[in-house]
Amino acid sequence: MKAAEKHVTDPKILEGLKGFSAQEGQHYRIHMKFNAAVKRAGFPGLEALEKELSDDYQRFTKTKSLRFNLAYAEGFEAITMNLINSMMGENGLGDDLPDYLEMIQWHFVEELEHRTVAFDVYDHVCGGYFYRLFVGAWAQWHFISWIHRTTQYMLKVRPQPKLSAEEIAQQNAADRMGNASSLRSLIPALLGTYLPTYTPHQVEIAPGIQPLADKYTAMALKVS
């Protein structure tokens, strides 16, 4: 995304892009610290998975076109934004969150804040619906498969505790209810991103998210 800055001639889009790059840079630094703590907690194999993903992104930067990388970024942002929007309640993830969930909520809120940037930059610099569609869909597959591999590794290292038949039935019922609720909002929203008329500017965000954004901005200013 940062490589696109010199190609952006619209001042508003450029301002959004610079803000996006600053937020994502901060996310990266904080998540690297968080990931290091997770690895120390008994998941050293995450190091190899992280390197593999980093190598992929380095390769894309060096060998793929700017158009490919912008379309990838938009596909990635489209799926993460819709996943987050379906997971967040009217007022976020709840009150009195532990530190790690507070960090995740902060990241989620900023993803919703800059949800239009990758789309606007791609459309402004390159454009092209079908290219965005196919590369974006591939980006989503690439992201989901990496998440799946990471989850499988962590479950193998630290399996979930065995539950009784009654506990399993209760958990399955709760999961089905939660998944059904999330899927009802996620699937139509995600499918909508594949339409020629899609724009993230039309995505509705719960009113309670803005106060959270203001809170995290104030926190960032206090420590900067």
Q: How far apart are CA 195 and CA 212, in angstroms?
A: 31
Report angle CA 186, 190, 192 to the nearest 5 degrees. Answer: 125
pTM, 2 dp: 0.86
pLDDT at 205: 86
Q: How far apart are CA 189 and CA 149, in angstroms?
A: 25
Question: What are the tens digits of pLDDT across the range 151-185?
Answer: 999 989 887 677 666 655 555 544 544 444 455 66
Segment 94-110, tens digit of pLDDT = 778 888 888 888 888 88
Q: Which residues of the chain have pLDDT under 70?
A: 160, 163-185, 221-224
109 touches 212 (CB < 8 A) = yes
Are 75 and 138 in contact, with CB atoms under 8 Å apart? yes
Question: Which pLDDT score, from 0 to 100, does residue 165 have?
Answer: 65
In the chain, domain spans: 2-223
